[in-house]
Chains A and B, each alone.
Chain A
Amino acid sequence: MKEGFRQAMAWLHTWTGLIFGWLLFAIFLTGTLSYFKEEINHWSQPEVRRHALDPVNSLGLAQRYLEANAAHAGSWMIRLPNAREAALSVSWRDPEAGRRGFVSKSLDAQTGQPVEARDSRGGEFFYRFHFQLEMPYPFGRWLSTFCAFIMLVGLVTGIITHKKIFKEFFTFRPGKGQRSWLDGHNAIGVLVLPFHLMISYSSLVLFMYMVMPAGILASYSGNTGDYFNELFGRDDPPKAANVATPLVPLPTLYAKVQEQVPGARIGYIQLHNPGDSNAQVTFTQASADNIAYKRSAKWTFDGTNGALLSQGAPESGAMATAFSFAGLHMGNFAGPWLRWLYFVFGVAGTAVIGTGLVMWLGKRQLKHAKSEHMPSELRLVEVLNIASMSGLLLAVAGFFWANRLVPVALEGRADWEVNAFFLAWLLSLVHAVLRPGRRAWGEQLALGALAFALLPLVNGLTTGQGLDHSLQVGDWAMAGFDLTALAVGLFLAWAASKMLRAPKPVAKRASRAAKKPTADVVEVG
């Protein structure tokens, strides 16, 4: 670290990238999948039927169901179906069950009857893993937020290292081993740089109240609740008066919101003290309607006479900034095309991390190309590279296979899907330890190719909603999942065939690399 500034930054880039690369790869991959959370949910629970959207009718159904089944609950929550989510979800807090007594049901949007869907966490699993890493609260969130910060450090140090950013962007030298990996790493990194900067900074914004609490504690004298009440403009919920009063029909309130903002889509409706004289109903606009989260887009009504009590307060500039970062990260506003762009950018981010890890090892392997055995620390990195990349792909495939093959009636089957995910991951780690590096890559990628390419077939055989059916009825979420799985399978097959073919003589590559004039670039590593 005695050398110049750029060398020091290259050092920082290399080593933070190595240490956090494996975890960042998993965070980026599951985060990318989360852009299609609802679509994955739909695939994981094919029993939930999609109907034409009719919010007024859905609201009436939800109210009828809750009045019949949760009349005694202190609060209700209703989530209306939308273009991406077929089910009408209702939930309530069971007063007898204490703090944990949260009951949730998915209703059919046309009949209002509970859907008996298979028990599965679906896209929710990848979404939660993305920021909680299946660790107990709050450690997973802390760790993933720190990883996001390291990603930001990696981006900034990467930019400093490669200051000739545009020149290097137009440089791609394929088929040249290590040099091609570096060119690819740089080109993808620069191409999606704005996305990368946005996504890593915004993940810090999402959890900043948690990881940087000092400012809140100091200016609110320790009352963090006051900060959130001011930030989100919310008041404490009213107390129940214990005087039974019928609840106003919710569709009439929906009509009042439409008068305020014509065409507003409603995300969820929250009710306090339903059936009490102090009932209160809050409508919140769907996050799909705005890029930023909007605290102003909510309306609170008196639940007994339907009078509009209050509307959310407007946002200040600082709030609009923070809420925009949050909204950009989640991408709830994105339509199909933009959503696919998010997905592609997410894959690119994953690829930048993956190519970086491969390069770290490749560069050091060159130095040991002539000796029989790789030093143990390099072998460790190799095993972790394989398990964290191709192994994670196998784990994802394992989750989806379990979703289709674990019996629907099995008790705790949702947990078995998660177990299948981690079991597949563990087995790929064992496999990576037992097999030589290149073989392990090739075999795992080949198995991954099979696992993903066969998913549409398994889906068709087990649910009867395979591609023949979904394409015919225009179920694009289902068909899109199957087609994407097929494409991933083909890509993995291509990658596996490259890996399983006899490697180019390493010594030749090494001598060529040595001849290359490299004075114009700072060597990372």
Chain B
Amino acid sequence: MKSKAAGLPLSYRLAVASRCLAALLGGYLLASMASVCIALLAPLSRVDATLIGLLLSFVFYLLAFIWCFACRSAWRAWLGVLLPSLLMAMASGIAYWMKTP
């Protein structure tokens, strides 16, 4: 792929860079939000729910990473990580608000 790379247009390179950022930062955000969501919503004791959230967060990171390079465009990559993050952030926000009087 490298030898072909010299002829690749700038737009392709930017798209790859964008996907990398989506995977790295967007994926981390998604994983973090998943761990928060599980920690606050899982019907377990506080320490167990937090622990399970941490243990599973890397699965989300892994899936987000794969998604960002498997989907059809860089825009979809961002959408695929940001939309679930937003939904989980909202769910966590409600759970946090209900737990803290």
Q: Which residues of A approach B to under 8 Å, CB–CB?
A: 1, 5, 8-9, 11-12, 14, 149, 152-153, 156-157, 201, 204-205, 208-209, 212, 214-216, 218-221, 227, 230-231, 316-319, 321-322, 364, 367, 377-378, 525
Contact pick for A9, options B44, B55, B66, B100, CB 8 Å:
B66
Contact B1 A11 (CB under 8 A): yes
* A149, B40: Cα distance in complex, Å: 25
Instruction: Name 14 extra pairs, CB < 8 A, besides A1-B69, A316-B45.
Output: A1-B16, A8-B70, A153-B66, A208-B57, A212-B31, A215-B36, A215-B57, A216-B50, A218-B92, A219-B46, A219-B49, A220-B50, A316-B47, A321-B55
* A63, B29: Cα distance in complex, Å: 51
Please name all residues of chain A whose beta carbon is closer than 8 Å to the beta carbon of B82 when the two chains form the complex.
Answer: none
Please name all residues of chain B whose beta carbon is closer than 8 Å to the beta carbon of A525 when the two chains form the complex.
Answer: 1
Please name all residues of chain B whose beta carbon is closer than 8 Å to the beta carbon of A204 when the two chains form the complex.
Answer: 58
Q: Which residues of B approach A to under 8 Å, CB–CB?
A: 1-3, 16, 19, 31-33, 35-36, 38-40, 44-55, 57-58, 61-62, 65-66, 69-70, 92, 96, 100
Please name all residues of chain B whose beta carbon is closer than 8 Å to the beta carbon of A367 when the two chains form the complex.
Answer: 3
Q: A214-B33, A214-B35, A218-B96 are in contact. Are A318 and B51 (CB under 8 A)?
A: yes
Closest to B34 in A: A215
Contact A215 B66 (CB under 8 A): no
Contact A214 B32 (CB under 8 A): yes
Q: What DSSP secondary structure best describes chain A's contact surface?
A: helix
Please name all residues of chain A whose beta carbon is closer than 8 Å to the beta carbon of B44 when the two chains form the complex.
Answer: 318
Contact A215 B54 (CB under 8 A): yes
Contact A153 B62 (CB under 8 A): yes
Contact pick for B66, options A157, A205, A317, CB 8 Å:
A157
Least CB distance, B58 to chain A, in whole angstroms? 5
* A231, B52: Cα distance in complex, Å: 12
* A378, B44: Cα distance in complex, Å: 53
Contact A218 B36 (CB under 8 A): yes
Please name all residues of chain B whose beta carbon is closer than 8 Å to the beta carbon of A364 when the two chains form the complex.
Answer: 2-3
Contact A156 B66 (CB under 8 A): yes
Q: A230-B47, A316-B45, A316-B48 are in contact. Are A216 and B69 (CB under 8 A)?
A: no
A-B contacts, 5 of them at CB < 8 A, read A208-B57, A215-B36, A219-B50, A221-B100, A364-B2
Contact A212 B46 (CB under 8 A): no
Closest to B92 in A: A218
Closest to B31 in A: A212
* A525, B92: Cα distance in complex, Å: 41
Contact A152 B69 (CB under 8 A): no
* A389, B61: Cα distance in complex, Å: 30
The interface centre, meaning the residue of B2, B3, B53, B62 with most chain A CB atoms within 10 A of its CB, is B2
Contact B58 A152 (CB under 8 A): yes
Q: A8-B70, A227-B47 are in contact. Are A215 and B53 (CB under 8 A)?
A: yes
Please name all residues of chain B whose beta carbon is closer than 8 Å to the beta carbon of A8 when the two chains form the complex.
Answer: 69-70
The interface centre, meaning the residue of A11, A149, A215, A227 with most chain B CB atoms within 10 A of its CB, is A215
* A208, B39: Cα distance in complex, Å: 14
Contact pick for B69, options A12, A316, A378, CB 8 Å:
A12
* A322, B1: Cα distance in complex, Å: 40
Please name all residues of chain A whose beta carbon is closer than 8 Å to the beta carbon of B47 when the two chains form the complex.
Answer: 227, 230-231, 316, 319
* A214, B36: Cα distance in complex, Å: 6
Least CB distance, B60 to chain A, in whole angstroms? 10
Please name all residues of chain A whose beta carbon is closer than 8 Å to the beta carbon of B48 when the two chains form the complex.
Answer: 316-319
Name the 5 nearest CB pairs between A and B, nearest first. Answer: A215-B35, A215-B39, A214-B32, A215-B53, A230-B47
Q: A12-B66, A219-B49, A318-B44 are in contact. Are A208 and B2 (CB under 8 A)?
A: no
Please name all residues of chain B whose beta carbon is closer than 8 Å to the beta carbon of A378 when the two chains form the complex.
Answer: 2
Contact B3 A215 (CB under 8 A): no
Please name all residues of chain B whose beta carbon is closer than 8 Å to the beta carbon of A318 when the two chains form the complex.
Answer: 44, 48, 51-52, 55
Closest to B53 in A: A215
Please name all residues of chain A whose beta carbon is closer than 8 Å to the beta carbon of B54 when the two chains form the complex.
Answer: 205, 208-209, 212, 215-216, 322
* A289, B49: Cα distance in complex, Å: 28
Contact B51 A231 (CB under 8 A): yes
Contact B58 A219 (CB under 8 A): no
Contact B51 A218 (CB under 8 A): no
Least CB distance, B96 to chain A, in whole angstroms? 6
Contact A5 B70 (CB under 8 A): yes
Contact A208 B65 (CB under 8 A): no
Please name all residues of chain A whose beta carbon is closer than 8 Å to the beta carbon of B69 when the two chains form the complex.
Answer: 1, 8-9, 11-12
* A209, B53: Cα distance in complex, Å: 11
Contact pick for B65, options A153, A205, A231, A322, CB 8 Å:
A153
Contact B70 A9 (CB under 8 A): yes
Closest to B48 in A: A318
* A99, B98: Cα distance in complex, Å: 41
* A216, B53: Cα distance in complex, Å: 9
Please name all residues of chain A whose beta carbon is closer than 8 Å to the beta carbon of B19 when the two chains form the complex.
Answer: 1
Please name all residues of chain A whose beta carbon is closer than 8 Å to the beta carbon of B96 when the two chains form the complex.
Answer: 218
